[in-house]
Structures are given as structure tokens and as C-alpha cells.
Chains A and B, each alone.
Chain A
Amino acid sequence: MNDRQILTRDLLVLFGLTGWALSLPYYGSEFAVSMALTCLMYIALATSWSLFCGTTRYLSLATAAFFGIGAYTSALTLDTQGWALAIAYGAGIATAVAVVMGALVLHLRGTYFAVLTFGMTELIRHAITTWEKQVTGTVGRVLAVVPERDTVYLTVLLLAVLAVATSIVVRRTRFGLAMRGIGSDEQRAQTLGVDTRLVKIAGFALTAAFAGAMGAAMSVRWTYIDPTTVFNPFIGFQTVLIALIGGAATLWGPLIAAIVFSLLAETLRLQLPQLYMMTLGLLLILSVLYLPGGLASLRWDTFKGWWNDTRAWWKEKRYEWSGDKARDERREKERRVVL
């Protein structure tokens, strides 16, 4: 398939999925819709996360910060400004924070960057908690005016579709190529004339905009928010987990993983919440070890490779346990002495 055919395929798949998701509120139960909302939220978060972090390989743990900022902005402005503006503000403020944060920390790579973004998320959470306690004298906020369920659903769907569409388009622009260049070799990209600083900050801000808008849209689902709920580091962790297990460098990987995990979460979480989290942890370890490209890189050959590896391993062990290995080594040694 050439590039144009892939683009057409991706757009068609997205179109089909959108149509299916659009019709869901009309026949699905209340439970199905709420599950779909979680799915769509993680699709948008994971896709926009891997748009920047997957291509440049900068591991950001700040998703929870942008999500929380979006949610808080929406809680503060929803009464006066209306639904669409509240979301726009959420995205805007998250972007502004991301630009400042990016300008501060994006010169650091690897572990330093991951740890710093996590630290900043916690800093923002604690700062808002303290501010709420001391200045406004509350712990959380109640959202009194909540829009209709269908409005929320359609907005979240729109954001998810926008995130995937942006990911499809950005991959084909100079901007996307520059990010990929940074991911494979930052110095070389710099030498070839990419303004890496600008590209990184722009990419980081783009991720933050989606997370902020998503936070603003999802905040109405809780009707009561406090810093511990909306800045929950688990939102950030789960986004990263989903993107990595799905395959952060691919387009459809995060989407597939988001659907799988939201379904798994809803079915397991009610009965055995710990078991769900343990599965998540174990799956992450196994996917990093045995499937570094993520679920999306799974092909028929991968299974064949595993099968061959297991057989080779077993053959090796049988050779060792039967005593043949020891005998062969001994003979080898004796032969050496004779010569």
C-alpha cells in the first residue's frame, strides 16, 4: 500500500468507527454509554499522548496535570460561560501551562524528563489543594449546572475523533516528520535544520490541549470534583500504560488498547479492583519485555517467533537436564588435554 492508500484506509476506518459510536446512545443502555465515555476518554488521551511522546520518545507523565487543569477550569467557568467556552478555556489554560512547563523541562531527556513531569504534576495538585484550603476554604467544587448526557457524549466523541484525525494528519506534515526525527536522533535532527526546541514545545502543547479539553468535558460526569479525583496520577499512568501496551509509535495501537482496557476495567473493577490493577501491571511488564512495539505490532509472525523461541529454549533445557551437555563438555575437555 502506498501512502495515499494508507491515508484513505485510516480515514475510512475512523469514519466507520465514528458512525458506530454516534449511534450508540440511541440503542445502548445507560451502562453501555458510560462505558463508551470511558473508552472515548482514554482513546483521546492515549492517542494525543502518543502523538507527541510516542514519536519523540519523551516520556511525559504530566497528562494528569493537564486533565486536572481542564477539569478545574471547566468547574470554574461553566456557570457563566457555557459549555463550549468552558471546554475551550480548559484546553487553552492547559496549553499555556504546557508551554511554560515545556520551556522549563524539555531540554532534559529520558528519565529526568519523566520524573520532572511527574513531580510538576504533583506540585500542581498540591498547590491547588493548598490554595483551595487556605484561600477559598473548601476542599472541592460542586458543578450545579450540568449539560445533557447526549451533549457530553457527543463532545467527548468529537474530541476523540479530533485526536485521532489530528494524529493521522500530523504524521504526514513536516511537523510530524520533525517529531519523528527528534525521536530517532535529536542531534541529527538539529543538524538538519529542525528547530527542535520549538517543535518539542509545540508538540507538548498539542498533547496538553487535548488532555485539558478532555478534562473539561469529563468533569461534569463527576458533578463534584476535588484535586484528588481530577489530578489523580492514575489517569496519567493509565494513559501511558494504554499507549505503551497498544504501541506508542503506531496510530491504531493506543485506540485498540484503550477499548480493550476500558472494557476490562469496567468488568473487573467492580468485583476485583486490585486484580484489574495487577493485570494491568503484569501486562505492561510482559508487553515491554516481549512486545516492545505494542499490541499493534502483533502479527502472525510474532506468535511463530514466540513458538520457535520456546521450542529452542526447551531443546536447550532438555539437552542440559538429560546430562548430555555435561557429557559433551567433559569430552571436549578430555580432547583438549590429549592434544
Chain B
Amino acid sequence: MSFGAWLELIASGVITGSIYALVALGLNLQYGLMRILNIAHGEFLMLGAFVTWVATTALGWSPLAMIPLSFALTMALGLVIHRLWFKRLTDTSPNVDVFEARALMVSFGLMFLVQNFASWVWGGELRGYDYLTDPVAIGSAQFAANKLLVLALSLVFAAALIVLLRTTLYGKGVRALMQSPTGAQLVGINTKTLHPLMFGIGLGLSGVAGCLLSMTYTIAPAMGEPYTVTALIVITLGGFGSMGGALAGGLLLGVVEAIGMHYTSPSLKSLLSYSVFIAVLLLRPNGLFHRKR
């Protein structure tokens, strides 16, 4: 195989990987901070994609303009959902284990609700639109311009989130809450504002990922579920609650999938990612990059 072909293969893996990372970061924020394993996470990616599709095809807006809008929309939805259901769940659950199981169930319900709402409104067909489809040559390899844009933007968003968590005071509060919820509350970190905010931001990132995804791939109401599963795989790879791990895990999974699919067959893609997932969960349940302290 020539160098150019290798570059194309790895790059296509990195591009899908960057979307995985973006979705996984949001899910990781929700699970690491609040113990909500949001099975409905991918459904908000689907919502973001559909909103962008509607705005682009019916209103003629640029998909780029829809990035902040889909973020704001899914984030607002997240705030409402948190206020309506998860807040009450936190107040009424006797301990973390019970809360975790109940939150999982609530997000299951949410998944059914959102997915079927979308297929009720928009129907089950595959949809898409063309945006920046011209090829761009880098060295001896060729890429579609929209894919490069997706890669750049999703890396920017992922990096922005990580930098925000590292440098700002809010970020410090979030990391403290991840380490020890009780300790963080004792030193005066307000969970009442941080929890809904981070839940909203998590969903918002998923919405952005959906918006980016709609620029390159076709979309359907059932598209969210595979991404939820992939996000789960990624955060198990990177370790629950670790942001850098989720980014690295996402990119790694994308590349592994691309190379694996090249050598076997595309129909083995899900088989491959599920095997990686189960192997990691069984052999290294704390994540690939976990070091014993």
C-alpha cells in the first residue's frame, strides 16, 4: 500500500474518531460528574443533525451557522430535562447506587421518547444534503473538504472543553466534584448550578457533533444509538470520568476501526468495536490509560 493510501486510511479513522471523541466527552461529563449514564445521549446528536438538516434544506441557512444554534438548542433541552427529572431523582434517591440504576432507566425512557418523536415528525428515511464536497489534495492523498472541516471543528470543540475544565474556576469545581462529591460540597462548590449546567453542556456537545456529522453523512432517526454505544466504548477505553482519556480513546477507536475494516470487511465494523469494548471492560475496567497511584 502506498503512503498516500495509508494517510487516507489513517485520516478517515481520525475523522470518525474525532466525532466519537466529541460525543464521548459529553457523555463522560455526565457520567463522571453526576453518575448519569445517559443512554439517550446519541439521540441528541440525532436531534442536532435533524435541526441542521431542516435549517439547511428548508430555510437555506449555512450548516456552519447552525453549530452554535444546535448547541444552544440541545443545551436548553438538557437544562429542561435536568430540571424536570434528574433533579427530582437526585433529591429522592437514598444513595448513589440506587441513583445510578434509576438514572439509567430514566435515560432509557428518554431514548425511546426522543427517537420515536423524531421518526414520528420526520419519518424513517435516510436524508442528507451537500455541503463543501470538493476534494482537497494534501500530499498524495485526497480528502473531501467537508470531512476536514468536521475534523478541525470537532477537535477545536473537544480541546476547548478540556482547556476550560483545566483552567477556569468552574472547571476546577467540576474536577473537584468528580474526585469527591462530598468534599467538593464541603468547600462550597455549588452543585445546584454546576450539575444542570454540565448536563446541558454535555448534551450541547452531542448536538454539535450531530450538526457536524450531518455535513458529511446521511442522517436517520435511528442514527443516535450506534453513537451512544460507541461513546460508551470510548469512555470505557479512556476510563470513566477522564476527559483526556476520552479524546485519546475516541481517536484510537476511529483508527482501529478504519484499519480493521480495511483488512477484513465493513460488515465486521460493529463486531470489531464490540469485541474491543468487551475485552477492555473485562481486562482493564479502569481504562487503558489508567495508572495505579
Residues of A within 8 A of B (CB): 57, 59, 104-105, 108-112, 114-116, 119-120, 122-123, 126-127, 129-130, 133, 237, 240-241, 244, 272-275, 277-278, 280-285, 288-289, 292
Contact = CB atoms under 8 A, between A and B. Distances in A.
A157 B46 CA distance: 41
Given A116-B281, A281-B108, A285-B113, 7 more contacts: A111-B101, A116-B282, A130-B268, A241-B108, A278-B117, A278-B120, A284-B109
Contacts of A240: 108
Interface in B93-123: 97, 100-102, 104-106, 108-113, 115-117, 119-120
B120 A289 contact: no
A104 B282 contact: yes
Interface stretch (B8-16, B70-78, B272-280): B272-280
A281 B109 contact: yes
Contacts of A116: 278, 281-282
Contact of B105 (A104, A278, A284): A284
Contacts of A278: 112-113, 116-117, 120
Given A110-B97, A123-B274, A278-B120, A115 B37 contact: yes
B112 A277 contact: yes
A148 B281 CA distance: 45
Given A282-B109, A288-B102, A126 B281 contact: no
B290 to A, nearest CB: 15
A122 B85 CA distance: 29
Interface size class of B (residues with CB under 8 A): 35 or more
Contacts of B101: 57, 59, 110-111
A143 B76 CA distance: 51
Nearest to A120: B278
A108 B100 CA distance: 14
B104 A114 contact: yes
A222 B287 CA distance: 42
Contacts of B277: 119
Nearest to B232: A115
Contacts of B116: 273-275, 277-278, 281
Nearest to B31: A111
Contacts of A288: 89, 102, 105-106, 109
B161 interface: no
B271 A127 contact: yes
B88 interface: yes
Contacts of B112: 237, 277-278, 280-281, 284
Contacts of A119: 229, 232, 274, 277-278, 281
B185 interface: no
A277 B222 CA distance: 13
Given A126-B270, A130-B271, A282-B109, A289 B85 contact: yes
A110 B37 CA distance: 11
Most chain B CB within 10 A, of A59, A277, A283, is at: A277
B85 A285 contact: yes
B271 A133 contact: no
B285 interface: yes
B267 interface: yes
